[in-house]
Amino acid sequence: MFRETTMRELNTSPVKMIAEDWALLTAGNLSAFNTMTVSWGGVGELWGKDVAFVFVRPQRYTYEFMENSEYFTLSFFGGEYKKELGICGAKSGRDVDKCKETGLIPMAAEQAVAFAQAKTVLVCRKVAFQDIDPKGFIDPSIMDTYAAKDYHRMYVGVIEKVLIAE
Ligand SMILES: Cc1cc2nc3c(=O)[nH]c(=O)nc-3n(C[C@H](O)[C@H](O)[C@H](O)COP(=O)(O)O)c2cc1C
């Protein structure tokens, strides 16, 4: 069971939540969705709203779902399910059924899909995207991340609902 809360009531570091514990980024609906592990991204405020930022390389299967969906979710597991998140971050939904492989149970979360085992779910409405442009790299070492020139697309989502497991 989940109850609604707000970003301000989450007493955990967003850096720990994303960078250390990782998250599942999911787009689509229950009849067709895809999920993948993310550890880059953030939450904050933009254009007067609480937002989440995620960064998706164009070759990800999830990219197609991000492009075609108005909503996406971020599911956080608080450091548990690292093995499962490792699978979702190594295999593609083009090749495997990630839910079957991991035992993660998809559930409707408003207009989107999240996972029953999550501790926290952010339901986000996609409001903007921007492709990373290497012309803006001031530190040249950033380029090391892009040997294949597969620059991420950044999506900005307004956080419409914060769900926490009870
Ligand atoms: C810990 C971890 C973090 C990741 N973070 C990102 C990320 O922020 N953006 C991204 O595009 N890929 C990221 N990936 C890679 C994708 O999760 C991976 O390529 C996945 O298999 C894509 O699945 P899909 O093809 O079903 O979308 C990460 C992988 C791991 C293991």
Atom of ligand 1 nearest to the CA of 40: 8
Atom of ligand 1 nearest to the CA of 36: 17
What band does 117 get if pLDDT is binned at 50, 70 and 90? very high
**Ligand 1 mean position, distance from CA 62 (Å):** 9
Alpha carbon nearest to ligand 1 atom 20, residue: 89
Domain coordinates in residue numbering, the chain: 2-165
Residue whose tokens read 């720990």 = 16
List the structure tokens of 99: 């839910």
Instruction: Kindly tell me if the per-residue pLDDT of 67 is higher than 90.
Output: yes
pLDDT digits (tens, 9 = 90+) for 122-149: 999 999 999 999 999 999 999 999 999 9
What band does 11 get if pLDDT is binned at 50, 70 and 90? confident
CA angle, 12 then 18 then 24, to 5°: 120
CATH code given to domain 2-165: 2.30.110.10
Contacts by 142-150 with C-beta closer than 8 Å and gap 24+?
A: 150/57, 150/58, 150/59
Contact in structure between 144 and 137 (CB atoms under 8 Å)? no
